């Protein structure tokens, strides 16, 4: 699979959360995990990040087991360590101490060097009226585009 073709996104994140600051982080993976990701068999829709022992971990990210893996295959929903700078980790830990804040993954991709990276964002949950406002704006934009096309 070519580098440009791997593009696993979390489309719900921008709808469910107000995104504040974005980071790009590496992920510590085993051999069968990277092979499954390169085949496009991963999902970050239900994933979120937590702090444990001064490190940032991604939880609930699903990577399908590799078909050709043997007894050394990985667990599909294991916690995986994110590779960030110390300054970024301290900023994220400070952000997570405030109630209602979370870290959500936005996109899983391959870097130019072939490393798997994930874009994460500091996020605050939206209220129901904010979501309705976003849907209304999206519908209005679609109607305007239709009118301009005619």
Look up the CATH number of the domain holding residue 53.
2.40.280.10
Name the E strands within the chain.
Answer: 7-9, 17-27, 42-43, 48-52, 55-59, 62-63, 80-83, 101-110, 116-125
pLDDT digits (tens, 9 = 90+) for 25-54: 999 988 888 888 888 889 999 999 999 999
Indicate whether 93 pLDDT > 90: yes
Determine the Cα–Cα distance for residues 38 and 114; give it in Å rounded to an integer.
10
Structural domain count of the chain: 1
Coil, strand, or helix at residue 146? Answer: helix
Confidence at residue 2, expressed as pLDDT on a 0 to 100 scale: 46
CA 10 to chain centroid: 6
The phi-psi region of residue 40 (left if phi > 0; otherwise alpha if psi is between -120 and 50; otherwise beta) is: left
Indicate whether 56 pLDDT > 90: yes
Q: pLDDT: is 34 or 2 the higher one?
A: 34
Confidence at residue 4, expressed as pLDDT on a 0 to 100 scale: 54
Indicate whether 7 pLDDT > 80: yes
- With 0-12 / 13-18 / 19 or more C-beta atoms within 10 angstroms meaning exposed / middle / buried, residue 103 is buried
Domain span at residue 137 reads: 3-149
Of 63, 53, 54, the closest CA to residue 105 belongs to: 63
């Amino acid at each position: 699979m070519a580098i440009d073709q791997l593009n696993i996104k979390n489309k719900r994140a921008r709808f469910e959360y107000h995104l504040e600051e974005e980071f790009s982080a590496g992920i510590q993976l085993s051999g069968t995990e990277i092979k499954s990701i390169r085949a496009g068999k991963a999902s970050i829709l239900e994933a979120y990040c937590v702090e444990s022992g001064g490190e940032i971990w991604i939880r609930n990210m699903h990577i399908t087991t590799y078909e050709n893996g043997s007894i050394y295959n990985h667990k599909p929903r294991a916690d995986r360590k994110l590779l960030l700078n110390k300054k970024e980790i301290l900023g994220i830990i400070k952000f997570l101490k405030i109630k209602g804040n979370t870290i959500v993954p936005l996109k899983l991709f391959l870097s130019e060097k072939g490393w798997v990276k994930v874009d994460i964002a500091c996020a605050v949950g939206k209220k129901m009226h904010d979501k309705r406002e976003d849907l209304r704006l999206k519908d209005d934009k679609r109607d305007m585009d239709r009118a301009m096309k005619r």
